Amino acid sequence: MEQDAVLDVAIIGLGWWGRIIADHIRSSRNLRLVRTSDIDEQARGFASERGIHFSTSFDDVLADDRVQGVVLCTPHSQHTEQIVAVARAGKHVFCEKPLSLTGDDVARAVAAVESAGVTLAVGHEKRFEPPIMELMRLCKSGALGVPLQVEANFSQDKFLSLPADNWRLSTKEAPAGPMTATGIHLLDLAVAIFGEAESVHASVKQLDSPLVNGDTLAVLASFKSGGHALISAILATPYVGRFAVYGSRGWAEVRDKSHPECPQGWILTTCMRAQAPQVIDMPAAPAVRYNLEAFADAALGRAAYPVSRKQMVANVCALEAAFRSAASGRIELVCAADSLARH
Ligand SMILES: NC(=O)c1ccc[n+]([C@@H]2O[C@H](COP(=O)([O-])OP(=O)(O)OC[C@H]3O[C@@H](n4cnc5c(N)ncnc54)[C@H](O)[C@@H]3O)[C@@H](O)[C@H]2O)c1
């Protein structure tokens, strides 16, 4: 039997998510983890237990000819510069969300991968969850009619135990509180349905937790194509994940049974006009690994990566407007992708 081609990759950042990604790569069909890097020497133990090369130098990773792709699992404010550096080294990039924190930065990151001719992928694994793929298929096929509105919620309480000086609680790394942690995944799905956003109204409050950059977020995004997304993301309540799209002929709703860290399956409910709702219990699937494998397939020239660069840019432009709105208390216009500085 013919063996699948394999992409040799390195992970930068071996914290919570980098370690989850490392184990997914080790069980993937088309990626091989050849080295890891973290500025924190304490991460070495995790790599040694798995027999993977570890260093504290990002430059060593970029200089290693064996490394064909780099997976970035570092704090948000570093993503843009690291994407640019990896692309300039001629390597493919998988970057955790959000790709960047501003429209100009994401345009710079995309320009760097385009000029290097490498693949860019992003850690929005919800796109690869089987019920979300079915919801998107129903939407794109027209079965739901014209998409009118998205209602979505991604909440959790994992950050309540973080020390107060953790980067995730800083306004520089995570403006608008839950927006970069979980809200961004829902915004990405809304962009996949509606395209570019036109305006965003976001409100963030610290209601009952030590999370100084906010524990409770409500977002109303309006899209150029029509349609709204109502996004709820709370970091002080137990896990809930729900994504629903309402169309002029029917609606579809996905409810998660657990956090994507440890998927336990989903309930997909669909309802077409004049018909009874249909409820499907869907088994667990490793969407994080599917996303990584799609990255490798794209880098190896086997298939296009399913999240377009246009959508990546549109998502960060809407994210930036959410930051501005949370700070100003006003509805903020989303910068147009074609007005962004290209570097
Ligand atoms: N896709 C998802 O569902 C999901 C879930 C959780 C986290 N994430 C994303 O993963 C990324 C990392 O988050 P986390 O929760 O793992 O954070 P974390 O703090 O647990 O881990 C980050 C790691 O990066 C290391 N680091 C920092 N700067 C570095 C540098 N310049 N070079 C090498 N290592 C460096 C830190 O020492 C730390 O070990 C973020 O972008 C986050 O949004 C995505």
Q: Output the pLDDT for position 339.
A: 77
CATH fold of 126-291+315-339? Dihydrodipicolinate Reductase; domain 2 (3.30.360)
Q: How far is CA 155 from CA 179, 206, 232, 235, 304, in A?
A: 10, 14, 8, 6, 31
The predicted-structure confidence for 54-110, as pLDDT tens digits, reads as follows 999 999 999 999 999 999 999 999 999 999 999 999 999 999 999 999 999 999 999
Which residue has better confidence, 340 or 52? 52
Residue 186, pLDDT above cutoff 60: yes
User: Which of 74, 127, 155, 289 for a ligand 1 pocket mutation test, highest count of atoms within 8 Å of Cβ?
Assistant: 74
Kindly give the number of the ligand 1 atom that is closest to the alpha carbon of 18. Answer: 16
Domain ranges of the chain: 7-123, 126-291+315-339
Tell me how far apart the alpha carbons of residues 50 and 26 are, in angstroms, rounded to a whole number: 9
The side-by-side arrangement of strands in the sheet containing 7-12 is 53-55, 31-37, 7-12, 69-72, 92-95, 120-122
Residue 14, pLDDT above cutoff 70: yes
Domain boundaries 7-123, corresponding CATH code: 3.40.50.720
Pairing outcome for strands 53-55 and 31-37: parallel
Tell me the residue length of the chain. Answer: 343
Closest CA to 80 of 338, 284, 245, 319: 319
The predicted-structure confidence for 296-330, as pLDDT tens digits, reads as follows 999 999 999 999 999 999 999 999 999 999 999 99
| Ligand 1 pocket, residues with Cβ under 6 angstroms | 12-18, 37-40, 43, 58, 73-76, 78, 96-97, 123, 125, 260
127: how many CB neighbours lie within 10 A of its CB?
21
Q: Output the pLDDT for position 3.
A: 59
Q: Output the pLDDT for position 338.
A: 72
Stretch 164-177: mean pLDDT: 94
Residue 340, pLDDT above cutoff 90: no
Enter the tokens of residue 267. Answer: 């309930």
Residue whose CA is at the smallest distance from ligand 1 atom 2:
123
Q: Give the list of residues 6+ apart from residue 66 with CB closer than 8 angstroms, or none.
A: 8, 34, 35
- Ligand 1 centroid to residue 335 C-alpha, Å: 27
Helices 287-299 and 16-26 pack at an angle, to 10 degrees, of: 70
Kindly give the number of the ligand 1 atom that is closest to the alpha carbon of 43. Answer: 39
Q: How far apart are the first and last CA of the chain?
A: 45
User: Which of 35, 39, 54, 168 for a ligand 1 pocket mutation test, highest count of atoms within 8 Å of Cβ?
Assistant: 39
Mean of per-residue pLDDT scores for the chain = 96
Q: Output the pLDDT for position 26.
A: 94
Kindly give the number of the ligand 1 atom that is closest to the alpha carbon of 82. Answer: 31
User: Which of 12, 14, 17 for a ligand 1 pocket mutation test, highest count of atoms within 8 Å of Cβ?
Assistant: 17
